[in-house]
Structure 1
Amino acid sequence: MVRLKTRYILFQLRYPQEVDETGVGGRGLPCDVPTESTSTLSARTLASTLRLSMTKNFGDEALADTLTSFVVKYFSNKTSTGILRVHRDAVERVLAAMFFVQTVEGRDVIWESVGVSGSISKCEKRAITRNRRVIRELRRAGGTEAEVDMAEAMLENLRGAGAEDDEL
């Protein structure tokens, strides 16, 4: 029996109306500041949107190739961050399909791929490292307490998703 080899894609949804053309928020804060998604946005909605993009841009055959292990393993509405599991051979097509998604639930969105990893634990570690950097930048740039709390919520959500405390 052959083992299915998968990859994990760490992604973040960004909402362009909240970022200016310089790539930073309206008050000069780093663009990595998390933005909350609507409460109706779910992992199922994201998966179906991505599948529709795959079909539209690459056809049914490409979609069939990705369906063997295509699952949104983690998604946080509070931080708009998630982890997607895909088949190893389909990573490039899934990343391209993410690029082509322009709206989710009627709201303009940029689906940013933060990183690709071979294990979910490495993906979580990358997210935690990134979130710590965002918190440091927010404090240095004079972010509001609510923005710092939002970034710290990213860490807490990932800890609850399975990251070990000794990894933090």
Structure 2
Amino acid sequence: MEETLVERGKSSAAPMIFILVAAFHYLFRYIEFNKNKKGSINDTDVQLRAEIMQLLKEASGLSQPSTFAQAAKLRRMAAAKEKELVKNQEMQKKEVKSSYDTQEKILKISNISAYVVLIIWFWQMPVATISEELVQPFGKMLSWRAGGALRDHVMVGIIPWLIVFARVNKLY
């Protein structure tokens, strides 16, 4: 009875490791997506845009030679407001990026620690068994630190298993 539980644990180890690697990969992608996404528009940005539009509208209405100086003044004010808007948006991007950078660092640390725990846990144990015909030229590489072949089956070690699934997840 105890041996069947151990066998069940081994047989479920491979999919669980894959799910863990995939989860970390998709969390990294989610953070990257949100970090590169455009920032949300706040009230000051909306107000600045409205003021810029109003100033440019007033300046375009003053097209007479006698009102040229006033129109130029309005355009300069609109340009100054645009610079202020750009500055506000850059500050928002920096704040958002720094917040996501800390989340990314925490996720990297937890990813590395999970890999280390898995490697220690499954160091000399096979994670999965695969038919030798499927992995004909790479059987020895996959069975590294997990033992040799067992009656037409290759025992897959934890390190090759993690490498293969990390690479597979990066493709998606």
Into which bin does the TM-score normalised by the smaller protein fall?
Answer: under 0.3
Instruction: From the CA coordinates, give the structure whose radius of gyration is larger.
Output: 2
TM score, norm. by length of structure 2: 0.24
Output the TM-score relative to the length of structure 1.
Answer: 0.24
Of Structure 1 and Structure 2, which has the larger fraction of its residues in strand?
Answer: 1
